Amino acid sequence: MNAFILTFDSIHHVMKAEKLLLAEKIKLEVIPTPQDISPNCGVSIRIHEENFCDKKITAILQTGKLHYKISEKKYT
Amino acid sequence: MKIIDAKGMLCPKPLILTKKALSEIKEDEGLQIAVDNENSLKNVSRYLKDNGYEIHTDRSGTVTVIHVLKKGQVFSEENSENYSITESKKTGNYIIAVFKNTLGNGPEDLGEILIKAFINTIAETEIQPASILFMNSGIHFTVTDSPVLDSLKKLEEKGVEILVCGTCLDYFKNMNELRVGKVSNMYEIMDKLSKTDKIIYP
């Protein structure tokens, strides 16, 4: 099972992104940033592949003018 | 050669007999222990290996004979409790008490995002808690539309007990809104808290 991890520049951006995505009913989870993506303490948003639609999510986050990175991660 | 017949005995009896025998047998005298259940086999084997003994096992049907060669080792008394697990549970003897819907003291929005991340991380720790207790505003994580419902359901499947204060559920929502765990009460919650090794309050 794969998931996409969205990492942001600051916790404030994470909070903003979470609000925007939830408002559009995107199913997500707030998780600590996986160590292999960034060893620094931080929080990321995880979206499982079945809930992830690249176009839609990009559009939503753009309304918030948020800069972010997407990583893919395998989960057992 | 000393032979122990521990068939039909449940943990920790086979272990106790093993320990006693090891203290009695001579240097380089062999020891054999016959067990017929998985938990005893695991626990006795692990105890011997952890204390530096070489063992060899012979399985025949439901009976396994553990062959031990004494190596002049010294035992530490305290360790035997760790080997008397009667169920091979993957949970540790600790409790996480979620008594509010935020983590720490500070801005509420930060506290909310932190507690969500915290709960979502529990399933990924090596040793899960025996139970997670929810009280006061913490109960919101156990009802419909909880942002961490999937994580809690996964934990429940792994054997983590999830207890939710009934009074609190009633105060905030209808009891029918509970989506994970079971409704509990102060007696049960107090009982769990008093018997566990450690309690983590995020």
pLDDT (tens digit per residue) in B107-128 = 999 999 999 999 999 988 889 9
Determine whether the interchain pair B120/A43 forms a contact, defined as Cβ–Cβ distance below 8 Å.
no
**Which residue, A38, A39, A41, is CA-closest to A69?**
A38
Tokens matching residue A18: 């979470």
- Tens-digit pLDDT profile for residues B15-57: 888 888 888 887 777 889 999 888 788 888 888 887 888 888 8
Query: Where do runs of H (alpha helix) occur along B82-183?
Result: 108-122, 149-157, 166-172
CA distance B79 to B113: 41
Determine whether the interchain pair A31/B109 forms a contact, defined as Cβ–Cβ distance below 8 Å.
no
**Catalytic annotation, residues of B:** 11
Tokens matching residue A52: 């992830």
Q: Shortest Cα distance from A15 to chain B (angstroms)?
A: 7
- Tens-digit pLDDT profile for residues B137-147: 999 999 999 99
C-alpha A6: how far from chain center = 3
| Contacts A–B by Cβ distance under 8 A | 27
C-alpha pair distances (Å), A67 with each of A25, A59, B37, B56, B179:
21, 12, 58, 60, 35
For an interface test with B, which of A28, A31, A73, A74 has the most B Cβ atoms less than 10 Å from its Cβ?
A31
CA distance B128 to B58: 34
**A62: three-class secondary structure by DSSP:** helix
Q: What is the pTM of this model?
A: 0.63
